[in-house]
Structures are given as C-alpha cells and as structure tokens.
Amino acid sequence: MMPASTANWEDLSIELSLDSDQLHKMNLELELVLIAITALAQIDRLEIAQIAKDVDVQSILSDWLQTWPQAKFIPARQLDLRQLRLLVSIVNRLAHKYQMVVRQTMTDWQQIVQLDRLPLEAPSLATYIDNFIIIYQVRLGDQTKDSEATHSFESLSQAALNLLIELLFYGGNNGNQRLWQALLQRSQATVITPI
C-alpha cells in the first residue's frame, strides 16, 4: 500500500513564474530521473501508462506517453508545469514500488566499494549503468552540452550512480515533494545536473 503522501501531487505548487529556459531544465532533469528508474527496474512504457491510467492522468500526458522512451526528447513538445507535476507523482510511485530494487542495488554498490573494485564489477550495477546509457542516448543524447565529455561513458556512469542515490529519497515519504523541490532548485542552476 502506498503511503498517503505519495498521492498528494496536489500539494506541489504550480503557482510559479519560470522562463522557458528554467522549464526546459526541469523537463531535462525529470527525464534523467525517469531514465534512471526505467533503467534500474527495466520498466516499459506500458507500466508507466498503467500508472497514469490508475491516477487518471493518461489523457493529460498522452503525447508524452506515446514517445517515452523510444523517441528523442523534443523541446518544442516538452511538458508544462501542470504536466511535470503529474509526472513527478508517477515517478514517485515508481520509485516507491521499486524501492527494494533501489536498496539492493545500493547494497551491491557498497559491497563492491568495500572490496576496492569498480561499480561495473557488480552485475546489478553493470546492467543498470548499461541500460541507463542506452536509454539516455536514445532519449537525450543531443539535448545537453555538446562536449564529448558530457556523453562519455564515465560521465554517464557517474550520473547513473548519482541518480541511484536520489531514487532512495524520491521513493520515500514526501518523495514527490523532494523531487519537485530538486527540479525547482536545479532549474535555477546554470548547467543541467547531474550531467
């Protein structure tokens, strides 16, 4: 059973004044979080669509649902604040549902670090990172900074690991508020994080 707080997307303020650049950053940040949970739990579009249907928002997110994650993210078709808020609720539900997978992968990471070995030497982390990079390249490969370093295996692997830590918080109590606040804060940054 889901904690009551995970369903309270109404609590997420949309009374904001954001410019197009800030809105774009929020879209990209949320795409990164979705890529992470999708890569980790090997979620398909149908599962996300089912959650959208369960919370009765599939019509509002229909265009986005049709393109996730097989098509490139197109800035001209990015989500508005209301749609972002609804998608935050869906991410929170997914992160909560797969919290045991997140925790187990974190445990594997801690164990491999204690053995002074690389994260990719843990099968669960290797699969997650590989999935993350594949989905990232399909969805966002040309949306962030143009430097080669941005899209290097090392930078994308580190981004995946950073997002794994964040998923611990986004699936917990008040996870939707935490994610929303992170999106708002990062929309003020001069660069897209974590990549």
- Tens of pLDDT, residue by residue over 66-114, are 888 888 888 888 999 899 999 999 999 999 999 999 999 999 999 999 9
Residue 1 counted as domain residue: no
Residue 44 counted as domain residue: yes
Residue 117 counted as domain residue: yes
pLDDT tens digits, 26-46: 999 999 999 999 999 999 989
| Region 117-122 average pLDDT | 94
Let me know the angle formed at the C-alpha of 23 by 148 and 85, rounded to the nearest 5 degrees.
115
Residue 116 counted as domain residue: yes
Residue 78 counted as domain residue: yes
Query: Who has greater pLDDT, 46 or 18?
Result: 46
pLDDT band at 7 (very low <50, low <70, confident <90, very high): very low
Residue 29 counted as domain residue: yes
DSSP annotation of 80 = -
Query: Who has greater pLDDT, 65 or 142?
Result: 65
**CA 130 centroid distance within chain:** 16
pLDDT band at 152 (very low <50, low <70, confident <90, very high): confident
Range of the domain at 50: 20-187
Contact call for residues 3 and 96 (beta carbons, < 8 A) = yes
Whether the pLDDT of residue 10 is over 80: the answer is no
Question: Quick one: tokens of 8?
Answer: 């309270």
pLDDT for residue 149: 52
Whether the pLDDT of residue 172 is over 70: the answer is yes
Residue 8 counted as domain residue: no
pLDDT for residue 77: 85
Residue 70 counted as domain residue: yes
Number of compact structural domains in the chain = 1
DSSP annotation of 6 = G
**Residue 178 neighbours by CB distance under 10 Å:** 17
Specify the residue for token string 């070995």: 117
Let me know the angle formed at the C-alpha of 13 by 9 and 14, rounded to the nearest 5 degrees.
105
Whether the pLDDT of residue 3 is over 50: the answer is no
